[in-house]
Amino acid sequence: MCDPTTHAAGACYPPAPCSGLPSAALRPWRMQRLGWHDNDLKQVGADFGVAAEVAACDEQARLALQLAEYSNSVYADHIAVRPS
């Protein structure tokens, strides 16, 4: 049985498809960062019946990651220019 709270962070996947993989592993950008490739993503999407959700979330996840990276760089710049 899946805990819906573990899927809430992704907001892209319903709590129904459970197979022992953590919900974070279902996020396309997370899987790619772990070394998964497009064919793996398509197979996982087909296996879990969430191929449409994977496709729909790909752009959302990419934008979220881009924002996080930008935020990190702004924070790093702030730290670098902070007076000692």
pLDDT in tens, 29-43: 555 555 555 555 556
Task: Average the pLDDT over 43-65 and give the result.
Answer: 61
Match 């805990």 to its residue by tokens. Answer: 3
Higher pLDDT, 10 or 77: 77
Tell me how far apart the alpha carbons of residues 67 and 64 are, in angstroms, rounded to a whole number: 5
Residue 17 — very low, low, confident or very high, per pLDDT cuts 50/70/90? very low
Domains in the chain: boundaries = 18-81
Residues in contact with 26: Cβ distance below 8 Å, sequence separation at least 6, in sequence order:
10, 13, 17, 44, 48, 50, 54
Tell me how far apart the alpha carbons of residues 49 and 83 are, in angstroms, rounded to a whole number: 53
Task: Average the pLDDT over 79-84 and give the result.
Answer: 58
Whole-angstrom distance between the N-terminal and C-terminal Cα of the chain? 52
pTM for this model (two decimals):
0.28
